[in-house]
Amino acid sequence: MADVDEEDYVYFGTPIEREEEISSRKRKAIAEPGTLRSLPPWKQEVTDEEGRRRFHGAFTGGYSAGYYNTVGSKEGWTPQTFTSSRKNRAEVKKQNIYSFLDEDDLKDIGGNTLETSMQYDTFGFTAAEFARKKAEEEQKKRPSAIPGPAPDEIVLPASSSIGMRLLMKMGWRQGHSIKDSNAESLSEIRREARKAFMALSSNKAEPDISEKDADGTDEFPDMSIDVLRNSENTPVYVLNPKQDMYGLGYDPFKHAPEFRDSKRLRESKSRETKRSKVHMGSLLSSNSKKYAPGFGIGALEELDAEDEDIYASGFDYEQTEVELEPSKAVSSSSGDRMLQLEHKKRGSLLGFKLASDSDYKLERFYPPAIPSNFRPIHKFGAPLDQTLKNYNSVPPPDAPPPENTNLRLLIEGSAAMVARCGKSIEDLYMEKSKTNPLFLFLKSGAEGYDYYVRKLWENKQKFVDNLKPAEKLTAENRGRILGERPLASTTSRVNDVSVKAREVINTQSSHGDTVTKPISLADLPDSAIKQFKHDPAKQERFELFLKEKYQGGLRASGTRSSTSTSTMSEADRARERLDFEAAAEAIEKGKQTIQISAPSTDHTKDLLGFGEDRFVSSTLIENSETKLEETNVVYPKREQFEWRPSPILCKRFDLIDPYMGKPPPVPRPRSKMDSLIFLPEIFKSSNKEDAKSPIGNSLEASKSGLKEAEAEPSASEADVAPTSPKNVERPVDLYKAIFSDDSDDDEADAGPALNQALNPVKSSEGANKTLNRLVAGDFLESLGKELGLEVPPGSIPGPSLNTNTVSLPEEQKSCKGGDDRDNTPFPKVKETKSKDYGSTVDSSREKKRSHSKHHRRRSRTPDLDPDSGSDSDSHRRHRSRSKKRHDRRDRSRSRDSESSDEAYMNRKERRKKHHSRHHEHKKKDYGDKYSDKKRRS
Amino acid sequence: MASSGWELAVNESGVLKGHEGAVLAVRFNGDGNYCLTCGKDRTLRLWNPHRGIHIKTYKSHAREVRDVHVTTDNAKLVSCGGDRQLFYWDVSSGRVIRKFRGHDSEVNSVKFNEYNAVVVSAGYDRSVRAFDCRSQSTEPIQIIDTFQDSVMSVHLTKTEIIAGCVDGTVRTFDIRMGRELVDQLGHPVNCISLSNDANCVLASCLDSTLRLLDRSTGELLQEYKGHKCKSYKMDCCLTNTDAHVVSGSEDGFIYFWDLVDASIVSSFRAHSSVVTSVSYHPKDVCMLTSSVDGTIKVWRK
């Protein structure tokens, strides 16, 4: 049916529903504020002016509040405070109230401007401000005599505050209390009421009334007064004057208000009754009563009996209740205090009590009782003196070693032990011998006893010998050991004599460069002495030398010993002396072998090492051999080494680099460790050099290091048959590496600044090396012994340390020969040297004092060199500077031609010409040629 | 040999005076027309000894000048001395072109090589150093430090560097072979000098002996004694004909030895004090001697 109905209607135009829809939202938005406000707050919605919802739930897009649903603004986060005022000064913003209002607020305001209203100006501040502004404006209009802004005091608010106005409306008048009028009115009302009541009631009520009236007056006692004082203004705030001497804000009756009352009571009483009473001081009069609890005693202080009567004398106290209070407190607290004090005394904490009995007790241990016969001085079983005495005693006769090798070794070993450790060991062995048949030799008469005694003596001797130098290692001795030349002053005879005399008196020191054993020459075979038969003069000197050496006990310092040598040169003399020393050495050794080591065989040496002199090396014999060899060396000797010229040097010499294309040289050992790494090579080289030239040994020692480091086996080296490695040689470099000063290869690295300091060291280097070798030999020997190795024969402990000096290489001697000169014979040379200005020869010995000398020399030179010519020179230099450039070119051109005086002049002329030519040149075509010229020059 | 006596420069023909203080070295230039002297007064002086003219003074050294050498083209000088530097001079302008550093101590001797490209110096710092004149670098291009002591004198040949050292050696460094030949003389070598044929080297030792070595074998050919040379750096040389050996003496004498039989041909007092240096003309019979007394003397036959 509906279909039919619909068919019946014909529609024209467009329906207007849509418009409705559009407007609906707006309508809703307009309608909503009213409806929404009625809703509870959680159902209300915030919308903007178009009715859009401002805040969405988290699921519908979150919080949307600011600029395009951001919390930001159009400007974003750019700070508004900063705007460049340089470009747009006009736009400098000032904040006013509108900058805090948004559109909605502004709409609400409408066209009205915001102003502060005077209506609610409670305290009149706004009015005051207003008035001041007005005054300022006025002042601007008509300038007054007083320049500047009007002072605040002058400008007073024209209008009163709202509160005042309200009060005035309520009937309050200025100068009247607010309360009064109120009370008045109240009382008035009451009075009215009372009157009415009285009118109603009869007369019987009269006394009541009167009573009440009286009551009334009683009720409002102030009111009547107030009525009287109506004209007075109410004091705004009454401060109670501080009349006590408590601290500010301290209320003594804070927790006891009842006492306050009693106090007030007393005060009023005293005011009445004892007003006339004279107190001790008018100043303290008011305070005197409450003195006790307050004055002089801080609140935190404990009350004490003493505190109480500090001020007691001279003060007239009234016994009041107040005063009882502190006294009470004192009495009560004093008990506590007593307790406290007690606690304090015992050092325990408050509330803790010391235990009456504790488990802990200090234990004391008493020293052991010393037996009455104890003497507090220790006595050593076998004092050293004794051994010394033994040593001094007559040596036991030689004894042949027992056939049994084991026994012999045992004997030797134990002898050495006994010699070292003293009698106690022997006693120990004795005890052992009771059980062990091995030690039977200790008993006199047993097999091997004689041998043991002999060995013991020998060892002791050695041991004592060893001790001696250690005891008195004076500077001189040390110097001698180190192979230094004694200084002139110390070798003065007197000194020597005194030293030597002492030594001789004490014991014979085997350490005898100066003191020697009294070996009689008679004992020596003739052949031994007559070593220089071929040269009678020399033989004579040698005999004299021996005589001085062995019979005199003292030996004159070398060169002076024989007058006949005065004609000889220094070096010759030194060399000869070496010869003599060596020969004497050999003789002595020969004797020794007869005396001492005759019974001993090779094996004995294994155990011999105990008491050997520290500085006597096993290489002694070798040294002496080499010494003898040295003397026979014929100069000149030629040696060949590899040497690498630098490629640039070859180039400059116009030669082909002989090492071109060959592997670069092994870098020199920079550190000591490197040299240790190359040890085998070094040791081989030193061997080689030994074989070649024993003299060069120490000289080349340092060199060999670097030589071999860059070694390629060359022809000459190949020629050298590899000698059997000598143990002794190895540690030379080892020791050098460890102990010696910087050697040559390091020297090059050292800066120039260092060099000065190193110079003095250099000269003694050779000596050091030799010494090191000796020490090293000794060291190795002992090491070998410890390791149970066999030490090469010839390690007999020679008595003479003088070999040290002897074994110094020949070169050193000769270089150092000057030292002898220093001593006596040639002082003149030195004198002249220092006087003259000729350059002296820089021999090694000179280096020692090169510093001082150079200094002297240098300091002298300025006197000798007047700078008279310097001025002219500088002038010349200035002049020549301009010429120089041209000269250079000239020179290169004229390299081949000139060879005469005229040539020099020629050159000068030509230079002039050249010069002028240049000028012309420049003038002609400056622009083109200038750059060309520049390039050329 | 008898005729050689005539050819000795034993007659004083001139005295060059100008140095204040000791003259430490005198050197003929390559052709013998000029001579250079240096001394304690920290100057170098260029002379024409034949005319007795003082041509130029070179001042720049801060300490004494011990040795000087001039290039074969007479354009450059090199000098050395107490101030541990080599001064490389321009002869005509008298200005220092370069200072070669590197020596740690005083420099005793200096020489140019044949091509004037390298300067080789010997120093108290036990080293011989070679410097390149052609590069701007002032650092040595080669350091030879196998010496044990102060190197007193250095000479160069075309292929070798020869140096005498206080350690008693004359060392020849053959650049071509890459070998170092060490001739041990056993006495500190004060000065070395090459014969004109360069086959022999004359070494003045501090034991007052001159030793003539054959360079090829290292053999000692002759020893010359009689003069006094113990502590000063003194020069020795051979005459232009290699017939005689000349040396000064500490007592101011000049000695002439016959080369072969080592006999003193002539000796005369030349100076009042130590004769520090002698230089023989390369071609003529002319000799220069310098002394601590501050004079340089010219000797002719």
Spell out the SS3 assignment of A31-92.
Answer: HHHHHHHHCCCCCCCCECCCCCECCCCHHHCCCCCCHHHCCCCCCCCCCCCCCCCCCCHHHC
Instruction: Report how far apart, in Å, the C-alpha atoms of A931 and of each of A905, A921, A934, A937 are.
Output: 31, 13, 5, 10
Under 8 Å CB pairs connecting chains A and B tally to: 265
d(CA A620, CA A593): 14
Find how far residue A302's CA is from the centre of its chain.
Answer: 54
| Of A424-433, A580-589, A776-785, the least confident | A776-785
> Taking a C-beta distance cutoff of 8 angstroms, is the pair B15, B295 a contact?
yes
Please tell me the pTM assigned to this model: 0.36
H or E element, residue B214: strand B209-214
Q: pLDDT grade, residue B121 (50/70/90)?
A: very high
pLDDT score of B78 more than 90: yes
Residue predicted with more confidence, A245 or A178? A245
- A902 shares contact with chain B (CB less than 8 Å): no
Per-residue pLDDT averaged across A448-464, rounded?
76
Please report the pLDDT score of residue A218 as a whole number: 42
Please report the pLDDT score of residue A585 as a whole number: 72
- A877 shares contact with chain B (CB less than 8 Å): yes
d(CA B273, CA B254): 11
Interchain contact, A637 vs B183, CB within 8 Å:
yes
Q: pLDDT grade, residue A211 (50/70/90)?
A: very low
Residue predicted with more confidence, B224 or A390? B224
Please report the pLDDT score of residue A648 as a whole number: 86
Please report the pLDDT score of residue A900 as a whole number: 44
pLDDT score of A142 more than 90: no
Per-residue pLDDT averaged across A707-725, rounded?
42
Instruction: Report how far apart, in Å, the C-alpha atoms of A462 and of each of A416, A437, A688, B219 are.
Output: 10, 29, 35, 49
Strands B23-28 and B264-269, by their bridges, are: unpaired
Please report the pLDDT score of residue B112 as a whole number: 92
H or E element, residue B255: strand B253-258
Please report the pLDDT score of residue A144 as a whole number: 55
Q: Mean pLDDT of all residues in chain A? A: 57
Backbone angles phi, psi at A794, to 5 degrees: 100, 15
pLDDT score of A508 more than 70: no
pLDDT score of A208 more than 80: no
Interchain contact, A648 vs B142, CB within 8 Å:
yes
pLDDT score of B120 more than 70: yes
Spell out the SS3 assignment of A334-390.
Answer: HHHHHHHHHHHHHCCCCCCCCCCCCCCCCCCCCCCCCCCCCCCCCCCCCCHHHHHHH
pLDDT score of A671 more than 90: no
Distance from CA of A829 to the nearest CA of B (A): 8
Interchain contact, A811 vs B142, CB within 8 Å:
no
Pick A829's closest partner by Cβ from B48, B145, B230.
B230
Pick A891's closest partner by Cβ from B63, B75, B186.
B75
Per-residue pLDDT averaged across A911-920, rounded?
48
Please report the pLDDT score of residue A632 as a whole number: 54
- A755 shares contact with chain B (CB less than 8 Å): yes
Per-residue pLDDT averaged across A693-709, rounded?
42
Please report the pLDDT score of residue A683 as a whole number: 43
Q: Mean pLDDT of all residues in chain B? A: 89
Q: Which of B47, B59, B210 is most worth mutating to test chain A (most A CB atoms within 10 A of its CB)?
A: B59
> Taking a C-beta distance cutoff of 8 angstroms, is the pair A524, A494 a contact?
no
> Taking a C-beta distance cutoff of 8 angstroms, is the pair A631, A575 a contact?
yes
d(CA A496, CA A512): 13
| Of A160-174, A576-590, A667-681, B50-64, the least confident | A667-681
pLDDT score of A642 more than 60: yes
> Taking a C-beta distance cutoff of 8 angstroms, is the pair A883, B39 a contact?
no
Pick A837's closest partner by Cβ from B40, B145, B146.
B40
Please report the pLDDT score of residue A119 as a whole number: 64
Please report the pLDDT score of residue A684 as a whole number: 41
Residue predicted with more confidence, B60 or A802? B60
Residue predicted with more confidence, A610 or B113? B113
Which residues from A are below 8 Å from B63, CB to CB? 858, 861
pLDDT score of A314 more than 80: no
Q: Give tens-digit pLDDT for A373-429.
A: 888 887 766 544 444 444 455 666 677 777 777 778 887 787 777 777 767 777 777
Which residues from A are below 8 Å from B108, CB to CB? 839, 842
pLDDT score of A161 more than 50: yes
Distance from CA of B23 to the nearest CA of A (A): 7
Residue entry with tokens 């709409």: A107
pLDDT score of A739 more than 90: no
Tell me the range of A264-273, A366-375, A886-895, B100-109 where mean pLDDT is highest.
B100-109
pLDDT score of A251 more than 50: yes
Residue predicted with more confidence, A20 or A443? A443
- A766 shares contact with chain B (CB less than 8 Å): yes
> Taking a C-beta distance cutoff of 8 angstroms, is the pair A467, A510 a contact?
no
- The one-letter amino acid code at A216 reads G
Which residues from B are below 8 Å from A864, CB to CB? 20-21, 40-41
pLDDT score of B260 more than 80: yes
State the maximum Cα–Cα separation within chain A, in Å, rounded to a whole number: 185
From A108, A109, A126, select the one nearest A117 (Cα to Cα). A126
- b/e per residue, A629-647, with b = 16+ CB within 10 A? ebeebeebbbbbbbbbbbe
Q: pLDDT grade, residue A266 (50/70/90)?
A: confident
Q: Give tens-digit pLDDT for B138-191.
A: 889 999 988 988 999 999 998 899 999 998 889 999 988 888 999 988 889 989
Q: Give tens-digit pLDDT for A82-118.
A: 666 676 666 656 677 777 777 777 777 766 766 666 6
Per-residue pLDDT averaged across A719-726, rounded?
42
Q: Give tens-digit pLDDT for A833-851.
A: 333 444 444 444 444 444 4
Q: Give the nearest chain A residue to B90 (CA atoms).
A: A888
- A654 shares contact with chain B (CB less than 8 Å): yes
From A158, A159, A160, A140, select the one nearest A150 (Cα to Cα). A140
Distance from CA of B266 to the nearest CA of A (A): 24
Residue predicted with more confidence, A470 or B266? B266
Residue predicted with more confidence, A456 or B165? B165
Residue predicted with more confidence, A932 or A84? A84
Q: pLDDT grade, residue B110 (50/70/90)?
A: very high
Tell me the range of A133-142, A576-585, A863-872, B255-264 where mean pLDDT is highest.
B255-264
Interchain contact, B132 vs A699, CB within 8 Å:
no
Q: Which of B77, B121, B187, B234 is most worth mutating to test chain A (most A CB atoms within 10 A of its CB)?
A: B187
Q: pLDDT grade, residue A145 (50/70/90)?
A: low
The ipTM estimated for the assembled molecules is: 0.87
Backbone angles phi, psi at A577, to 5 degrees: -65, -40
Helices (H), A201-238: 206-219, 221-228
